[in-house]
Structure 1
Amino acid sequence: MMDVVQIQKILPHRYPFLLVDRVVEVEHGKAIEAYKNISISEPVFEGHFPGHPIYPGVMIIEGMAQAGGVLAFESMSGAEQDATENKVVYFMSIDKCKFRHPVRPGDKLVYKLNVLKHKGAIWVLDGKAYVDDKLVAEAELKAMIVDK
């Protein structure tokens, strides 16, 4: 388990763009489960949409990608992990993306990612997002760890 303070030691993102509140489980090199609590106080709800708040799909995908970044950094070996403060994860592609159900304030958005492929600095992840065990979004994400 990893709280937001520990997550901030790994990811460069900060409010309002840090989209992972807690990491529940990490299987190094294999999988991660994390979540974000969706609150009506999120700045994005001021414009998406007034009177009918829906959490944007792009934010769901970005949250998945951030969880994937935590997985990639946590999966590094000891010497590599020491150098993570000088590294950042770049998105390379998003494929097979589907949004299945809207996400609303009050929802707990659970990210579950599995490694499809990992070679060198490149990671390919199968990402799924759930609310109350209902699949709300899915995508195949490709990312690369690079020097800042």
Structure 2
Amino acid sequence: MKDKEYVKSKIPHRDPFLLVDCVTLIGDSGEIKAYRDLSEEDPIFRGHFPGNPVYPGVLMIEGLAQTAGILLLEPKKTPLFAGIEHARFKEIVRPPCRLEYNVRVIGKKMNIVKVEGIAHVEGKICARATLLVSSL
């Protein structure tokens, strides 16, 4: 298990936009598992939505992309989206919960890597997408 300091050593994101708390697995075959613990005190829920907290789907996708960056990024590089395909949102995510990210590499062409990402809570798929990621 790799903690938030490890995450911060791998990607340039910082609070409040660092959306990965911990890495639980980095596999030899181009896969990574990570998570973010959500609580009602998370600043995003002050505006989305007061009294009815819902974690935005776009942030689930960003969390998947950050997880991919942890796996793929070279030191001192900035990760970039090159594309998002087939994004689907299946379940509403509400705090408190642990939002888990599973990402695996499914292709590479030049400096673009294609990954499949799935975000889930307690085994229920909340979001999935194919992402194209690159770096500066």
Global fold match (TM > 0.5): yes
Residue 113 of structure 2: aligned partner? 123
| Structure that is richer in helix per residue | 1
Residue 28 of structure 1 contacts residue 71 of structure 1 at CA under 8 Å; is this kept in 2?
no
Q: How does 1:1-148 map to 2 (within 5 A)?
A: 1-28=1-28, 30-73=30-73, 81=74, 84-85=75-76, 87-146=77-136
Give the CA RMSD over aligned residues.
1.1
Per-residue CA deviations over 1:103-134 (Å, capped at 9, x if unaligned) read 01111000001111023421100000010001
Q: TM-score, normalised by structure 2?
A: 0.95
Inter-partner Cα distance in structure 2 for 1:66 and 1:6 = 13
Identity of aligned residues (%): 40
Greater than 6 Å deviation, 4+ residue runs? none
Residue 29 of structure 1 contacts residue 72 of structure 1 at CA under 8 Å; is this kept in 2?
no
The unaligned stretches of length 5 or more in structure 2 are none
The unaligned stretches of length 5 or more in structure 1 are 74-80
Q: How many residues align?
A: 136
Letter paired with 1:72: L
Q: TM-score, normalised by structure 1?
A: 0.88
Deviation of residue 28 (structure 1)? 4.1
